[in-house]
Amino acid sequence: MSAARLSPTGLPPASPAPARPVVIAPSILSADFSKLGEEVRAIDEAGADWIHLDVMDGHFVPNITFGPDVIRSLRRHSAKVFDAHLMIAPADPYLANFADAGCDIITVHAEAGPHLDRSLQTIRNLGKKAGVSIVPSTPESALEYVLDRLDLILVMTVNPGFGGQAFIPAMVEKVRRLKALIGDRPIDIEIDGGVTPETAPLVLAAGANALVAGSAVFRGGPGEYAARIAALRPAV
Ligand code: DX5
Ligand code: ZN
């Protein structure tokens, strides 16, 4: 190796962290709730990488969806990663229930309780990947001191509670700053809210690698799921 390629420390320059694979995670919030098992099978077969599970409590967010028992019953319909997004406060008393129900990634909201560091340790101690979500008004700096406890950061690009809302453009800059803050750490950046074939390239270019999509996948019914998932992937 020539001297010109050595860094000022005399060591070879560190190689950049490998790019994280792009993941598409359809949210069953927009599925037909009367046949959730079938819907999960359909998005699995249509090429979903993860299954995104939006848990809402009517307290942290103004809507109510489902809990661990429903997730447990869906587990036998797909072997894909179950990506649980807990929009509940408090979350800590229920973390073991969600782990036991078969969630692989458990994401809590930074705004949902005072002891985020403890919540993340609890999730990892349960043997699950730990995620944190931040609502649009929370700055990325809120995560600065928990980065080493995290496997995933979920950036809300709408205010949580409902599917079908419009993407908030100011969040693209937040993703860019978050990517810089994370550095080489092996953390997924997931985007949730208003993801479409038009907004997906913006957040991928800013540093995100996981895309949640509810209405953009489920609109049109099962016959269209594969094409709608494919339309969110970057062109090769
Ligand atoms: C909103 C949920 C989202 C929602 C996204 O609180 O966290 O996962 O399903 O829906 P769309 O993709 O329709 O914006
Ligand atoms: Zn979500």
Alpha-carbon distance 152 to 143, whole Å? Answer: 11
From 36, 39, 54, 108, give the residue whose CB has the most ligand 1 atoms within 8 Å, as the site to mutate. 54
Q: What are the pLDDT digits (tens) for 207-220?
A: 999 999 999 999 99
What distance in angstroms lies between residue 162's CA and the mean position of ligand 1's atoms?
Answer: 6
Ligand 2 centroid to 15 CA: how many Å? 33
47 has pLDDT over 50: yes
**Has residue 52 got a pLDDT over 50?**
yes
The protein residues having their C-beta less than 5 angstroms from ligand 2 (an ion) are 54, 85, 192
Residue 8 has a pLDDT of: 56
pTM (2 d.p.): 0.94
pLDDT in tens, 65-106: 999 999 999 999 999 999 999 999 999 999 999 999 999 999
Q: For residue 24, is pLDDT > 60?
A: yes
| Best probe residue, ligand 1, of 108, 156, 159, 162 (max atoms within 8 Å of C-beta) | 162
The model's confidence at residue 4, banded by pLDDT at 50, 70 and 90, is: very low
| 212 Cα to the center of ligand 2, angstroms | 7
